[in-house]
């Protein structure tokens, strides 16, 4: 059974039965059958379906948002925003997939030679709990518009969200098997990947999960896209608008209670503005309201699970024991639920726990750099390479630095975010492949070369 626990109360909720081996095989085979018809549809027909799903999500925004709030603690205002972002993703690919996948003519000795982008078949998407709707559509919208079918293995801690996502497609009359919710435990995933009908896998999750899935996919010679963890650096240089940087980075740090792969995690500040930045950041974070995510005024909700909160507190405690200053928070609160206070750790140095590990919670880690060169070196001193930001008045300098930063995306004087129009993904232990934008939809297609004779001299 999949039984979600309300992180606000710590109470178990409704359970959902896991699929048996035979049910898994039947679902994959149904996906393969659906593919045979879906692959022959045109972009207009596919787009109509996605727009219908987007319309239904828009009509049902409040109910869908509250599923997230109850199951994983996302503040209700953020949850509504996530539903809208999923709608945006669906509409974006409905409107732009045909252009992204248009045939490309390439000159050769042929009378005509070109590349066309064809669907592969059933795809498996393995998704985490922290953005249930957004991540489902980040995987599903481009896959469906490319002509593939989708098998969604969502996190077991958000079973009602997963059911609701699949039901959207049923309610608009999608072909049976086009988009299915696979209620399977982690140990059952191998059965899906190994199935001959499944052509590729996309995973958003931890580096350890990515390693296991990538190994299994490679063993069966199937492509994979991995969007894994991050310890994302934000560089605040001496000539930056320090107050603006602190305001934006405070927001980046506490969205979804800090439970985001691309949230600012290591705030690396040049020495001349370090004290000013720390003071303003601490003031910004101290003003935030921690509380029941169902309340409109709440800005920071609970951590999604008790074990995650315990791990977060371990990171904070060990980092303080290693010499960091705790300027805000840092204490496990009493009472029900899995709440953790917004915390500021200053004077963190490379090698301290919160600098080496991904901190998945409302923990701001501030580090001092003597100069921009040292800040850059500290930014790259990580096993991860997902996202980064640079704050400076010298945009040209920041663009030059971006070429030196080991990360899949860099924001200059702005918040790091995902956008359906732009590719997103990481390097090093943050994964490989790209999602979103034109690059994302081309990950799971057959890039087929066509040579038309006769040969030209």
* Cα gap 120→342, rounded to integer Å: 45
From 71, 227, 270, 406, active-site residue: 227
Q: Is 14 exposed, middle or buried (0-12, 13-18, 19+ CB in 10 A)?
A: exposed
Q: Are 120 and 148 in contact (CB under 8 A)?
A: yes
Q: Are 372 and 237 in contact (CB under 8 A)?
A: yes
Would residue 29 show up in a list of annotated catalytic residues for this protein? no
From 261, 406, 435, 443, active-site residue: 261
* Helix 159-171 vs helix 43-59: crossing angle, to nearest 10: 130
Would residue 294 show up in a list of annotated catalytic residues for this protein? no
- Tokens encoding 165: 């996502």
Nearest C-alpha neighbor of 164 from the set 91, 90, 92, 66:
66
* Cα gap 386→266, rounded to integer Å: 12
* Helix 159-171 vs helix 132-145: crossing angle, to nearest 10: 40
- β-bridge pairing 325-328 and 266-270: unpaired
Chain-centre distance for alpha carbon 360: 13
Catalytic residues: 227, 261
């Amino acid at each position: 059974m999949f039984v979600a626990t309300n992180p606000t109360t710590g109470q178990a909720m409704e359970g959902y039965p896991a699929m048996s081996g035979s049910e898994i095989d039947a679902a994959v085979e149904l996906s393969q059958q659906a593919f045979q018809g879906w692959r022959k549809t045109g972009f207009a027909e596919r787009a109509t379906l996605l727009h219908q799903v987007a319309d239904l999500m828009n009509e049902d925004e409040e109910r869908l948002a509250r599923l997230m709030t109850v199951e994983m603690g996302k503040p209700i205002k953020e949850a509504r925003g996530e539903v809208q972002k999923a709608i945006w993703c669906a509409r974006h690919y409905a409107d732009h997939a045909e252009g992204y996948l248009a045939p490309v003519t390439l000159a050769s000795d042929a009378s005509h030679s070109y590349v066309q982008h064809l669907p592969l078949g059933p795809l498996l998407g393995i998704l985490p709990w922290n953005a249930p709707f957004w991540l489902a559509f980040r995987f599903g919208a481009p896959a469906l518009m490319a002509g593939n079918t989708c098998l969604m293995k969502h996190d077991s801690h958000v079973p009602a969200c997963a059911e609701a996502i699949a039901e959207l497609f049923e309610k608009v009359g999608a072909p049976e098997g086009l988009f299915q919710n696979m209620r399977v435990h982690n140990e059952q995933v191998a059965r899906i990947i190994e199935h001959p009908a499944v052509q590729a896998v996309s995973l958003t999750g931890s580096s350890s999960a990515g390693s296991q899935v990538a190994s299994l996919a490679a063993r069966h010679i199937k492509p994979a896209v991995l969007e894994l963890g991050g310890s994302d650096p934000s560089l605040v240089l001496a000539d930056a608008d320090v107050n603006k940087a602190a305001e934006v980075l405070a927001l980046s740090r506490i969205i979804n209670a800090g439970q985001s792969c691309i949230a600012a995690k290591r705030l690396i500040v040049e020495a001349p503005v370090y004290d000013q930045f720390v003071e303003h950041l601490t003031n910004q974070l101290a003003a935030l309201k921690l509380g029941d995510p169902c309340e409109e005024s709440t800005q920071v909700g609970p951590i999604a699970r008790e074990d995650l909160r315990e791990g977060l507190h371990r990171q904070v405690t060990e980092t303080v024991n290693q010499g960091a200053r705790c300027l805000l928070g840092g204490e496990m609160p009493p009472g029900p639920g899995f709440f953790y206070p917004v915390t500021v750790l200053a004077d963190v140095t490379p090698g301290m726990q919160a600098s080496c590990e991904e901190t998945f919670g409302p923990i701001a880690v501030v580090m001092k750099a003597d100069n921009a060169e040292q800040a850059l070196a500290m930014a790259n001193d990580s096993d991860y390479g997902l996202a980064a930001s640079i704050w400076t008045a010298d945009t040209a300098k920041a663009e030059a630095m971006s070429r030196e930063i080991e990360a899949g995306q860099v924001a200059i004087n702005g918040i790091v975010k995902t956008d359906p129009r732009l590719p997103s993904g990481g390097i090093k232990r943050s994964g490989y492949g790209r999602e979103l934008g034109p690059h994302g939809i081309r990950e799971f297609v057959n890039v087929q070369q066509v040579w038309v004779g006769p040969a030209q001299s």
